[in-house]
Amino acid sequence: MNRFPKIFIVAIMIFLLHAGSGYTDTVLLRNGDQLNGNIQNEYLVVRTSYSQIVVTRAFCKNLAMNADQRVTGSLQTINNDVLTGTILNSQIQILLADNSRETVNINDLNSLYFEYSGPSRQVPTSIFTMHNDDRLSGKLLDTQVKVRTNYMTGSYKGSEINRIEFAADAPDKVKLLLVNGDIIQGNLLLDHFYPK
């Protein structure tokens, strides 16, 4: 008989702890304050050295701001893509548990953690590693990619490419890892990529 009340009390405590936390996003400010609630921004925008990228809220995992530079940071997606550069959102809107709204200036933000559940989104396509170590995954919309190596010039369909890595020392130097395991290194003969 004594066992039942103990189990019941433990079950209630576990329920209250999980119900109290819920699925909330966490905002950490530079002054040490912490806000918990739901981020209301529909998207975050990062201007990188190679492109301006819009990431919808559903794909955001966390945002870490640089300590020494106010508007630069690193955004990570639920697929563990990493985008670094200038954060173009000037404010972060958060709906708190008491239904009040807070607006956080991007200069006051230290980091932002989005609560999400479930696995990452399946990406049946290529992974791009940029020269600054940013990583993107997506579907390559170009019909073919041409690469000139020391011994040949080859054309590869987007469906044949598993990974594309860009060299840090030269913007046109790439390494392709094909789906069949082949590795092709050389000069990219395209000016632009169109990942989706």
In this predicted structure, the answer to whether residue 14 has a pLDDT above a threshold of 50 is: no
HEC string for 60-114: EEEEEECCCCCCEEEEEECCCCEEEEEECCCEEEEEECCCCEEEEEHHHEEEEEC
- Residue 28 corresponds to which tokens in the numbers above? 């950490």
The least confident of 97-101, 146-150, 158-162 is 158-162
What pLDDT is attached to residue 110? Answer: 94
User: Of the ranges 10-14, 88-92, 145-149, 184-188, which is most confident?
Assistant: 88-92
pLDDT at 5 (0 to 100): 54
